[in-house]
Structure 1
Amino acid sequence: MGIEFSPEISDLLGRVRRRPNAGWPWRPGEAVPAGLTVKQSWGWLFAPDGRVLTLVNPRDGVVSLPGGSLEPEDAGDPGSALAREAGEEAQAVIGPAVYLGYLYDRVGSANGGHECARVRMAAALHGVGPSVPDPASGRHYRRLLVAPGLAVELLGWGPTGLRQARAAVGTAVARWGVPALALETIEELPRGGCALR
């Protein structure tokens, strides 16, 4: 059986644009070294059926996981940053985030040319509110639930992304009891929001 999706999602996926892989080394399970700035926190957010929340910007087709830069109100906590960003970008309601590891950005493209860490986390996705534009960018993201392996493909993250996804799935299976093999159905979450149980 192949991947299932609606004609509308087929049209959306036909316009997906993948970012070039930056080649940042993945440091699974390692704490961020003292003195290395944590610049970003992105999350693998798991629905109870094992699929993850993936965002598509309909303006340019760029796919992303929820997350973004740490702000002063996050007090240096990547979990707080993820919860805030997921709420702003996707109106997502999540459980406590679990640290997976970080990507080492030697060039520091998100940090004024200074090396930094880009943290990856996992969390349970409890639901989403009504869809509204991201207050920081004005982007109105389309919210898709997809299997983690397909998310890697849509993100264009290659082998490093696949290793991240495996770490995230292992955490989600152990912590929240999601199935190790997610449904192969791509589903857009309703604009009016929904709970996920």
Structure 2
Amino acid sequence: MGIEYSPEISELLGRVRRRPNAGWPWHPGVRVPDGLPVKQSWGWLFGPDGRVLTLVNPRDGVVSLPGGSLEAEDAGDPGAALAREAGEEAQAVIGPPVYLGYLYDRVGSANGGHECARVRMAAALHGVGPSAPDPASGRHYRRLLVAPGLAVELLGWGAPGLQQARAAVAAAVAVLGVPAAANETIEELPPAGCRLR
């Protein structure tokens, strides 16, 4: 069976623009070294059928996972930052995040030109509230559930992204109880919101 999606999603996907791969080395399952600041936390958020939440900015077609920079209110906790950012960007409600590893950013574009870590986590996606603009950026994202492999393609992350996706799926199968083979249907979550678990 092929990938299924609606004409509206087909039109949206036709405008997707992939970011160039930054080339940050991926360190799966490794704790961030002492002294290396964690500046960002992004998440693979899994629905019960194994699909993950991706965000599409309809203005420029850029696809992203939910997440962003740690703020003072997160008290240095990447899991708290992910839950907050997922709520702000996607109005998502998630379960406790599972640490997957980190990307090493030598250039430190998220840290004023100083090296830093960008953490990746996995979590259960319980649902989303009514669609609203991100208070930090004003972006109003379209929210798609897609299979993890397709998410890598839409993100434009190549082989390093595929390694991340495999780590995320392994954790989601073991800890969150999702199926190893995700549903292949591409689905846009309704603007009014919905529960998934």
Query: What per-residue deviation string (whole Å, max 9, x for no partner) do you get for residues 66-91 of structure 1?
Result: 00000000000000000000000000
Query: What per-residue deviation string (whole Å, max 9, x for no partner) do you get for residues 101-150 of structure 1?
Result: 00000010111110000000000000000000000000000000000000
Unaligned runs of 5+ in 2: none
- 1:176 is displaced (CA, Å) by 1.6
SS in 1 for 2:60: coil
Distance in 2 of aligned mates of 1:3 and 1:156: 18
Identical aligned residues as a percent? 88
SS in 2 for 1:165: helix
- 2:11 is matched with which residue? 11
SS in 1 for 2:174: helix
Distance in 1 of aligned mates of 2:37 and 2:51: 31
Distance in 2 of aligned mates of 1:79 and 1:147: 23
Unaligned runs of 5+ in 1: none
SS in 1 for 2:44: strand
- 2:176 is matched with which residue? 176
TM-score (norm 2): 0.99
Distance in 1 of aligned mates of 2:60 and 2:37: 29
TM-score (norm 1): 0.99
Counterpart amino acid of 1:64? S
- 1:139 is matched with which residue? 139
Distance in 2 of aligned mates of 1:176 and 1:86: 18
- 1:177 is displaced (CA, Å) by 1.1
* Equivalence map 1:86-97=2 (5 Å): 86-97=86-97
Query: What per-residue deviation string (whole Å, max 9, x for no partner) do you get for residues 34-61 of structure 1?
Result: 1101010000000000000000000000
SS in 2 for 1:140: coil
- Runs (4+) of structure 1 exceeding 2 A deviation are none
SS in 1 for 2:22: coil
SS in 2 for 1:100: strand
SS in 1 for 2:18: coil
Distance in 2 of aligned mates of 1:108 and 1:159: 22
Counterpart amino acid of 1:160? P
Distance in 2 of aligned mates of 1:177 and 1:111: 35
* Equivalence map 1:18-97=2 (5 Å): 18-97=18-97
Equivalent residues, number: 197
Distance in 1 of aligned mates of 2:38 and 2:94: 21
- 1:165 is displaced (CA, Å) by 0.3
- 1:2 is displaced (CA, Å) by 1.4
- 1:65 is displaced (CA, Å) by 0.1
Distance in 1 of aligned mates of 2:176 and 2:75: 27
